[in-house]
Chain A
Amino acid sequence: MQKTLRSGSFKKATAIFTTAAVAALMGTFGVSAPAHAASAVHVKVWAWYPNFKEVVAKYNATHTDIQIDWTNAGAGGDEYTKLKTCIKAKSGCPDVAMIEFQTLPTFSILNPFVDMGKYGASNADGRYAGWAWAQATSGKVVNAIPVDGGPMAMLYRKDLFAANNIKVPTTWAEYASAAAAIHKLDANQYIATYGNDPGWATGLMWQGGCLPYKYNGTAAKATVGINLNQASCKKVLSYWGDLVSQGLVDTKPFFSTDAGADFDTGKYWTWVAAGWTPGYLSGVLKTTTGKWAVAPTPQWTAGADAQGDWGGSSFTVMNQTKHPKEATSVAMNLYPPQKTIDAGSPWDIGLNSAFLYPLVTGVESNAAFVNHTYPVFADQQPNPIYIHASKKLGAFQWTPFQDFIYSTLHDETAQAIAKKEPWASVLDNVQTKAVAYAKKQGFKVTA
C-alpha cells in the first residue's frame, strides 16, 4: 500500500464517509411512532399477512382508545423464531402475536400467553367454528382467538380436464387414474406436485381419518400421545408415495418461484389445498386466471364426506404485555365477524386480497360470503365448498413439539423422494424419532 496517497477520489471518499458518519451519529435511530392522542394505549401486533396493513389502518382510524403498532416479523417459522427468542429472553415480545393452530401447544408449553378468558374472551365460544375454538382453548383457558382457517378442497384446471375428456376425480382412486392419464398425454405434465409441506401432508392425512396426536396442556401437561404409524396415516402417505415413485406426481416444493410458474403453465393440473391457497394462486397466475375451479377433496370411499385442514392462524396475547385487556380487545376485534362485505372493511380486504377463510360461526347464512366470486374461479362461487369442509372438520389435536415433528416429517419425506428410503418407512421413522424426542424432553408417551 502506498503511504503517500493523496488522490482526489480518496479525499472525496473520505469526505463523503465523514459526512455520512456524522449525519448518521447525529440522526435518531429508528422511526418515531405516528403521533396519536396521548390517552390511546398502543398495542404491538406481530402478524404476517401483508394485507393486514390496511386492516390495521382501518382499525386505527376507527379507534381512539387503542392504537395498533403492526410489525410483519416474518411469515410462520420466521416469526416463531423471533417469538421463541423473546420468550426465552423474557423481553422483547409483542402484545399480540399471530400463531398458527398447529403451533399453539408448542408455544403454550412455554407459558407465554395471557389467558384471554380473564379479559373478556370467555364468552366468545359461540362466535367461532367448533374445531377452531377447541384448538384455541384448553379447558376454560383461552389461549388464542381464531382468525382464519384452511379447510381443504381441490383446485383444478377446469379447461384442461374438459378439453382432454378426463373426469374430475371425486375419489382418490379416480385421482390416481387421472394422474396416469394426464402424464400419458404429456410427459411434462402432472396432476400435481408433492410439495413436501408437512402441514399439507398432515391435512391430507387428517382427511384420511388419521388423528395421530393426543395432548391436553391443562389436564396432563407431561403426557402426550403420538401414533403416526397407524394404518389410516400410512394409507395416505403410501398413496402419494406410489404416485411419486411412478413418476405421476412431481416433487417440486410448494411456493418456490418455479412451482408457482408451473401452476400457470399447465404443468400441474390440480392442487388439493387450503381455503387460503387461492390467494397465493391469484398472485402467481398470469395467463390462467379464470380457468381454475374448486371441487371437494377426493374421498377415500366413494360417497363419503371426510375433510381436512391445512393451516390457519390465530391471535394470541403474550404475557409480557402491560395491557392485557386492550391486547385481548385487539385480538378479538381486529378481524371481527361481519354481516356484509363493505368496501374497505376487514372482510373485503381479507377475502378479496388475502383469501382468508373466516372461522366465525354463521358464515353459511352470510349471503355476501356465500355468493362471493373471485377472478381466479371466473363465475364459480367456491365458498359453499369451503364452508361445508370447515363444518365437517372434527376435533384434531397437536403435540407440544409440533415443529420437531414437522421438520422430521419433511426430512424423512425428502429422503423418500430422493429414493434413499422407502415411502413405507417414512411414518415409522417419524414415529420413532418423535417418541425418542418426547421422552428426552421429559414426556410420558402414550399411543
Chain B
Amino acid sequence: MKRRQVIIGWLFVLPFVLVVFFFLVLPLIYAGYLSSQADSLVGGQHFVGLTNYIDTFKDPLFLEGLKRVAIYAAISIPIMISVSLTAALTIDVIQTRLARVFRLIAFMPYAVPGVVAALMWGFLYSQQFGPIYWVAKRLGYPNLDMFAPNVFIYSISGIAFWAWTGYNMIVLYSALQGISREIYEAAIVDGASQKQIAWRIKIPAIKGAIVLTVLFSLIGSMQLFTEPRILSRYTNAVTLGYTPNIYAFNLAFNQSQFNYSAAVSFALGLIVLVVSYGFLLRSRRMADK
C-alpha cells in the first residue's frame, strides 16, 4: 500500500518533472556546457574551462551594462515601492468607490504586454506629437528629449513605473488586508493616529510582502531587455552592452558567439542570485534587530 502510494504520487508529478527536465534542467546543462567551450570564427570549438567567465568579469561592455542596471535599480525601485506602499496604505483605510476604481485602474497596466507598453510610451515620449514634450515645452523646457542618451534610462524607468507600480500596490494592499484586526485594537484604544498605526503596526506587519516586491523588482531590473530593445531605434543610447541581457542577446544572435553569450548570461544569473540572497539576508538581519 505504502509503495503503491509513492508510485501513484510520482505518476502525478511525472508530467511536471518531465517539463522541468526538458525545458529547464537540460537547457541549463547545455548552456553550461556551451559556456565551457570557445568557438572562434576561424579555429573551431574547443574546451576552455572557466576562461569565458574570467573574460566576462573583465569585459568592459558587460561591466558597463551591469553598472547601468544597478544604477537603474537603485533609482527606480525605491521610488516605485514607496509610491506603491503609500498608495496601498491609503486605499487600505479609504474604502470609497473612488479608491476601488483607482485600485482597478492602477493594476490594469499588468495586462498590457511589455512590447505594447514600450511601443505606446515610445509615441508618448515623442517630441513631435507626445503629450510629455507638449507639457515640457509650455513649462519652458523646449529641449527636453526623452531619447537623449543621458535621459533615456529615466524614460525606461518611467515605463517600468507605469507598468509595475499598480501591481506592487495590489500585492502590498492584499498583504495589508490580511492583517488581523486584533493587532490594531490596542492601538486604536490608545488613540494612535492613522500615521502612527501605519508606521508602527502596518508596515512592520507586511514587511515580508515589501521585501518580496523589492526582490522581484530587483530581479526584473537587472534583467532589463524588452523596453530598451524595442526603443533602440529611437535613440543613440542603446549600445551593444546597454544591459547585460541585451549584451548576451547580441552576442548570441548577432555575433554568433553562442559560447561566450552562455557565459555572460550565466554570469548575470549568478550576480542576480548573489544580489537577491544578499538582499534577503540583509533584510532578515534588519528584522532581527
Q: Indicate yes or no for A touching B, C-beta below 8 A.
A: yes
Given A109-B42, A110-B256, A196-B236, A414 and B149 contact (CB-CB distance below 8 Å) = yes
Q: Say yes or no for A410: interface residue by CB 8 A criterion.
A: yes
Q: Smallest CB-CB separation from A411: which chain B residue?
A: B239
Are B256 and A442 closer than 8 Å at their CB atoms? no
Q: Say yes or no for A186: interface residue by CB 8 A criterion.
A: no
Residues from chain A with a CB closer than 8 A to the CB of B42 are 109, 221-222, 441-443
The stretch of B24-32, B120-128, B267-275, B277-285 in contact with A is B120-128
The stretch of B10-18, B182-190, B209-217, B247-255 in contact with A is B247-255
Are A403 and B254 closer than 8 Å at their CB atoms? yes
Within B120-179, which residues are at the interface with A (CB < 8 Å)? 123, 126-129, 147-150
Are A258 and B233 closer than 8 Å at their CB atoms? no
Are A401 and B236 closer than 8 Å at their CB atoms? no
- How many chain-B residues does the 8 Å CB contact rule pick out? 26
Residues from chain A with a CB closer than 8 A to the CB of B240 are 407-408, 410-411
Residue in A84, A262, A417, A442 whose beta carbon sits within 8 Å of that of B149 in the complex: A417
Are B41 and A81 closer than 8 Å at their CB atoms? no
Given A257-B126, A257-B128, A251 and B236 contact (CB-CB distance below 8 Å) = yes
Residues from chain B with a CB closer than 8 A to the CB of A401 are 41, 255
Q: Smallest CB-CB separation from B133: which chain A residue?
A: A258
Within B227-273, which residues are at the interface with A (CB < 8 Å)? 233-237, 239-240, 250, 253-256, 258
Are A109 and B41 closer than 8 Å at their CB atoms? yes
How many angstroms from the CA of A241 to the CA of B160 in the assembled complex? Answer: 34
Are A414 and B236 closer than 8 Å at their CB atoms? yes
How many angstroms from the CA of A415 to the CA of B127 in the assembled complex? Answer: 22
How many angstroms from the CA of A258 to the CA of B129 in the assembled complex? Answer: 8
How many angstroms from the CA of A442 to the CA of B250 in the assembled complex? Answer: 20
How many angstroms from the CA of A258 to the CA of B125 in the assembled complex? Answer: 10
Q: How far is the CB of B261 from chain A (nearest CB, A)?
A: 11
Residues from chain B with a CB closer than 8 A to the CB of A161 are none
Given A222-B42, A401-B41, A256 and B233 contact (CB-CB distance below 8 Å) = yes
Render B187-221 as a binary contact track against A, CB cut-off 8 A, 1 for contact: 00000000000000000000000000000000000
Are B234 and A418 closer than 8 Å at their CB atoms? no
Q: Say yes or no for B113: interface residue by CB 8 A criterion.
A: no
Q: Say yes or no for B43: interface residue by CB 8 A criterion.
A: yes
| Chain A interface SS verdict (over half) | helix
- How many chain-A residues does the 8 Å CB contact rule pick out? 37
Q: How far is the CB of B196 from chain A (nearest CB, A)?
A: 32
Q: Smallest CB-CB separation from A260: which chain B residue?
A: B128
Are A258 and B41 closer than 8 Å at their CB atoms? no
Are A410 and B149 closer than 8 Å at their CB atoms? no
Are B255 and A404 closer than 8 Å at their CB atoms? yes
How many angstroms from the CA of A417 to the CA of B40 in the assembled complex? Answer: 33
Q: Say yes or no for A400: interface residue by CB 8 A criterion.
A: yes
Q: Say yes or no for A85: interface residue by CB 8 A criterion.
A: yes
Q: Say yes or no for A253: interface residue by CB 8 A criterion.
A: yes
Q: Say yes or no for A424: interface residue by CB 8 A criterion.
A: no
Are A407 and B250 closer than 8 Å at their CB atoms? yes
Q: Say yes or no for A59: interface residue by CB 8 A criterion.
A: no
Given A110-B256, A257-B126, A441 and B41 contact (CB-CB distance below 8 Å) = yes
Q: How far is the CB of A338 from chain B (nearest CB, A)?
A: 34
Render A426-447 as a binary contact track against B, CB cut-off 8 A, 1 for contact: 0000000000000011110000
Q: How far is the CB of B240 from chain A (nearest CB, A)?
A: 5
Given A109-B41, A443-B42, A418 and B126 contact (CB-CB distance below 8 Å) = no
Residue in A85, A261, A418, A441 whose beta carbon sits within 8 Å of that of B253 in the complex: A85
Residue in A252, A410, A442 whose beta carbon sits within 8 Å of that of B40 in the complex: A442
Residues from chain B with a CB closer than 8 A to the CB of A414 are 149, 236-237, 239
Within A214-244, which residues are at the interface with B (CB < 8 Å)? 221-222
Within A349-372, which residues are at the interface with B (CB < 8 Å)? none
Residues from chain B with a CB closer than 8 A to the CB of A85 are 253
How many angstroms from the CA of A222 to the CA of B128 in the assembled complex? Answer: 49
Q: How far is the CB of A285 from chain B (nearest CB, A)?
A: 14
How many angstroms from the CA of A404 to the CA of B233 in the assembled complex? Answer: 18
Q: How far is the CB of B239 from chain A (nearest CB, A)?
A: 4
Residues from chain A with a CB closer than 8 A to the CB of B41 are 109-110, 400-401, 441-443
How many angstroms from the CA of A173 to the CA of B127 in the assembled complex? Answer: 31
How many angstroms from the CA of A109 to the CA of B255 in the assembled complex? Answer: 12
Residue in A77, A84, A252, A413 whose beta carbon sits within 8 Å of that of B256 in the complex: A84
18 A–B contacts from the bound complex (CB under 8 Å)? A81-B254, A84-B256, A85-B253, A88-B256, A109-B41, A196-B236, A251-B236, A256-B233, A256-B235, A400-B41, A404-B255, A407-B250, A410-B239, A413-B236, A418-B150, A418-B236, A441-B43, A442-B41
Top 9 nearest A-B pairs (CB, nearest first) are A442-B43, A411-B239, A442-B40, A414-B236, A442-B42, A441-B41, A81-B253, A261-B128, A222-B42
Supplied contacts A221-B42, A261-B128, 20 more A-B pairs, CB within 8 Å: A80-B254, A84-B254, A88-B256, A88-B258, A253-B233, A256-B147, A256-B234, A257-B128, A261-B129, A403-B255, A407-B240, A407-B250, A418-B150, A440-B40, A441-B40, A441-B41, A441-B43, A442-B41, A443-B41, A443-B42
